[in-house]
Structure 1
Amino acid sequence: MSSFGPIVLRTERLVLRPPEERDAPDCFAAVDQVVRRWMPWAHGYTLERARQWCVKEAYRDPRRETSFVIVPDRTGRAGGVIGINRADWETGVAETGYWIGPADRRHGYVTEAVREVARYAFGLGLHRLELFAATGNIASQRVAERAGFTREGVLRKARPVPGGRSDMVLFSLLKGEL
């Protein structure tokens, strides 16, 4: 069985690294109304919850999931988060998800981060990476498409969002398609 370990990934414009306690103020500041609209955990988000999350990430099961803060070179601060979740090493399938704050949107950072995380996941032996986006979250769907993922279909009421459950568009990327 493979596993994720603490690692730093680098792209042309980004550093993707494990969260640290010092990232809490930046993560907290990046959670705006857009993030709150789609992420159930963001309701009532506080600086203390951001700090707890950053600290807790060091203790995740490295065989199943990992998180990276997205740090653009131009700012040097955490602007969002991307992760690899629900890894099943037996089938070679995992999921990726992300969010980014308003100051770092519309620069292509998330697309760049998704591609780099996919390279990392496939390099560890995964075969398929899945991505779910709420049907109303057009921006997230565009990121998936720009990153090279294929839209497979819609899963009805598949995930919670603030205010209830949402239909989710399932996207996938296979090893060799990147």
Structure 2
Amino acid sequence: MLFLGRDPRRFDSIEYGSRMFPMWRITYVRAALQQGPWRATARGLASWIVMVGAPAVTVGVVFTVVSGSAARGLVIAVWVMLVVGVVLVAGGLWAWRVSGLVDKEIRARYGVLWKVESARLLLRPPVRQDAVALAATIDAEMLAGNGWSERDAQVMVKAVGAGLPTPGLLVFEAWSDGSLVGGASVHPSGSDASSRTLGWWIGPRHRRAGYATEAVAALVEAIHDAGFTTVEIGTSESNLAVQRICDRIGATEKDRRAQQLPNGSVVPGIWYEHRQVPAEMP
């Protein structure tokens, strides 16, 4: 059992909707509203209303003057449409701006790695075309070992297939034939800005071929090269395979504590850390 360092249910909040205003952006707006002070939110929305409303008011005044008192009903209808239009347009522009800022922040926190190469693998962010092959790397053994449900896996694969954000997710592509060997996640370790948590899995067709050790070693090195001094890896006390990989790459045991998995179960866990080796002075 390996703790993937990411709750796959985070993708459950990414809904699938219009390409004009993707629903994942609405999810980001909701997150911003929950975390940000309401005064800042009100000021931001008000600024957009003023920006959009200024030309709308000008149009309304000109129309009122030109129409005169004879078309009072039409003037009222135009003003109502202008007010509603200003609120909708300003609200949409504000929401798009806020969701863009949240997306930028998430990419900055989770987009630590772009492409990492090893002898047999290319480790990279997924693209839409990876969805079917990615699903093939997830079997009952992987789900049970990591405490995922089938829905957890389906949500992640669906997000990849729809081209939606999958923060911190990487796939392992074999140089030899382009097949997907497995996947990994890299994400922040709590409040420690100098640390990242790493998790991974290998698909059933490619297990026991040394891919996990190769991928993990390459990822750990790349994370350190990106400026992070510590890489954390969590696994269950019974997973000797992961413990051996940690030993091979030079990770040391940090502590032992219970870990809650995505399906709600709690298991006894071991947490390892790999620290960057200081460069030798010339």
Q: Output the TM-score relative to the length of structure 1.
A: 0.81
* Residues 1:70 and 2:172 aligned together: yes
Q: What aligned pairs does 1:131-150 form with structure 2 within 5 A after superposition? A: 131-150=233-252
Q: State the match for 1:54 in structure 2.
A: 160
Structure with more helix by fraction:
2
**Greater shift after overlay, 28-37 or 88-97?**
88-97
Q: Following the alignment from structure 1 to structure 2, what is the Cα–Cα distance between the partners of residues 114 and 153?
A: 20
Name the CA shift for 1:6/1:163 in 2 (closer, same or farther; >3 Å).
closer
Alignment size in residue pairs: 171
Q: State the match for 1:33 in structure 2.
A: 140
Secondary structure of the structure 2 residue equivalent to 1:92: strand
Q: State the match for 1:159 in structure 2.
A: 260
Q: Following the alignment from structure 2 to structure 1, what is the Cα–Cα distance between the partners of residues 224 and 113?
A: 16
Report runs of 4+ in structure 1 exceeding 6 Å deviation.
Answer: none
Structure with more strand by fraction:
1
Q: Is the CA contact 2:128–2:162 (under 8 Å) kept in the aligned structure 1?
A: no
Q: State the match for 1:22 in structure 2.
A: 129
Q: State the match for 2:81 in structure 1.
A: none
Q: 2:231 aligns with which of 129, 134, 153?
A: 129
Cα shift readout 1:81-131 (whole Å, capped 9, x = no counterpart): 112112568640110000111111111111111111111111121111100
Letter in 2 for 1:19: P
Q: State the match for 2:185 in structure 1.
A: 83
Give structure 1 stretches of 5+ with no counterpart.
Answer: none
Q: Following the alignment from structure 2 to structure 1, what is the Cα–Cα distance between the partners of residues 112 and 180?
A: 20
Give structure 2 stretches of 5+ with no counterpart.
Answer: 1-104
Q: Is the CA contact 1:112–1:147 (under 8 Å) kept in the aligned structure 2?
A: no
Name the CA shift for 1:89/1:113 in 2 (closer, same or farther; >3 Å).
farther
Q: Is the CA contact 1:24–1:50 (under 8 Å) kept in the aligned structure 2?
A: no
Q: State the match for 1:109 in structure 2.
A: 211
Q: Following the alignment from structure 2 to structure 1, what is the Cα–Cα distance between the partners of residues 259 and 162?
A: 26
Letter in 1 for 2:248: R
Q: Following the alignment from structure 1 to structure 2, what is the Cα–Cα distance between the partners of residues 89 and 163?
A: 23
Letter in 2 for 1:54: V
Name the CA shift for 1:6/1:133 in 2 (closer, same or farther; >3 Å).
closer
* Residues 1:172 and 2:273 aligned together: yes
Q: Following the alignment from structure 1 to structure 2, what is the Cα–Cα distance between the partners of residues 24 and 46?
A: 14
Letter in 2 for 1:29: A
TM-aligned CA deviation for residue 27 of structure 1: 1.6
* Residues 1:7 and 2:114 aligned together: yes
Cα shift readout 1:120-175 (whole Å, capped 9, x = no counterpart): 111121111100001122222222222221122311x2222657211111111001
Q: Is the CA contact 1:19–1:55 (under 8 Å) kept in the aligned structure 2?
A: no
Q: Which has the larger radius of gyration?
A: 2
Q: Output the TM-score relative to the length of structure 2.
A: 0.54
